[in-house]
């Protein structure tokens, strides 16, 4: 085992576990998370660090480019769909966050900005549904810069995945009853800021401003 991992486990056992021991004991037999976080598998997007959350608070699904298949394509990604189903139907989460991020390799690959994809047949197949987002960006004639296109892809991908999530009957039912909230987030790795998609304004706002608007 890598030395770094061994050291981490030792620190967890001797320091971190002790800090959270009361929570682990309370939650030994069950969990009651309030939020489902759907994020990218990217090693820089760590939900517990991002949210400063305690054990038991956040149920997590992570995959390349934080995707959710549309309801009609749900069979294409059962790990993601079953996690969503479980979080909503069994755990009764009150909030779902779909969080994209800057410099997302999955989004870059879907934009055709990565040569690595040629060697990755499974990833190619997996990223196919993102082609519709790419097409929307390519249709914007004023955006020609590759970096600008990449940032837009990452943000529009979040909006698309929120739309997909809302296509599920169980989600629609919970939204209708006011038992669920869905938010699209964008994490900028360089600045550490998170912006939230405001559907009415059709733009991402800084999370601080978004809270102010909602209050």
Interface positions with Zn ion (CB under 5 A): 40, 42, 104, 106
For the chain, helix, strand, coil in percent to 5 are 55, 15, 30
Closest CB 116 distance from Zn ion, rounded Å: 14
The interaxial angle of helices 131-138 and 146-165, nearest 10 deg, is 130
Query: Which residue lies nearer to Zn ion by CB, 77 or 88?
Result: 77
Query: Which residue lies nearer to Zn ion by CB, 44 or 163?
Result: 44
> Helix (H, G, I), strand (E, B), or coil: what is residue 92?
coil
Closest CB 145 distance from Zn ion, rounded Å: 20
Closest CB 182 distance from Zn ion, rounded Å: 19
- Please state, in angstroms and rounded to a whole number, the distance separating the CA atoms of residues 120 and 110: 12
Query: Which residue lies nearer to Zn ion by CB, 91 or 117?
Result: 117
Query: Which residue lies nearer to Zn ion by CB, 55 or 105?
Result: 105
Closest CB 35 distance from Zn ion, rounded Å: 19
Q: State the greatest distance between any 2 C-alpha atoms of the chain, in Å, as a whole number.
A: 57
Beta pairing, strands 95-101 & 181-187: parallel
């Amino acid at each position: 085992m890598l030395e770094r991992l061994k050291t981490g486990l030792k620190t967890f056992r001797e320091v971190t576990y002790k800090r959270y021991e009361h929570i682990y004991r309370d939650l030994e037999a069950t969990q009651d998370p309030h939020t489902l976080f759907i994020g990218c598998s990217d090693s820089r997007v760590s939900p517990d660090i991002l949210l400063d959350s305690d054990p038991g608070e956040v149920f997590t699904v992570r995959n390349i480019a934080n995707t959710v298949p549309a309801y009609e394509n749900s069979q294409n990604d059962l790990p993601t769909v079953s996690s969503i189903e479980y979080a909503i139907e069994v755990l009764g989460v009150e909030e779902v966050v779909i969080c994209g991020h800057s410099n997302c390799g999955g989004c870059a690959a879907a934009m055709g900005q990565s040569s690595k994809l040629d060697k990755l047949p499974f990833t190619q197949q997996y990223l196919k549904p993102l082609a519709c987002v790419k097409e929307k960006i390519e249709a914007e004639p004023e955006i020609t810069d590759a970096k600008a296109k990449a940032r837009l892809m990452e943000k529009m991908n979040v909006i698309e995945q929120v739309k997909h999530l809302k296509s599920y009957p169980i989600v629609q039912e919970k939204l209708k009853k006011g038992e669920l909230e869905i938010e699209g987030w964008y994490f900028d790795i360089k600045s550490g800021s998170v912006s939230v998609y405001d559907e009415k304004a059709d733009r991402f706002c800084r999370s601080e401003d978004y809270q102010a608007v909602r209050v």
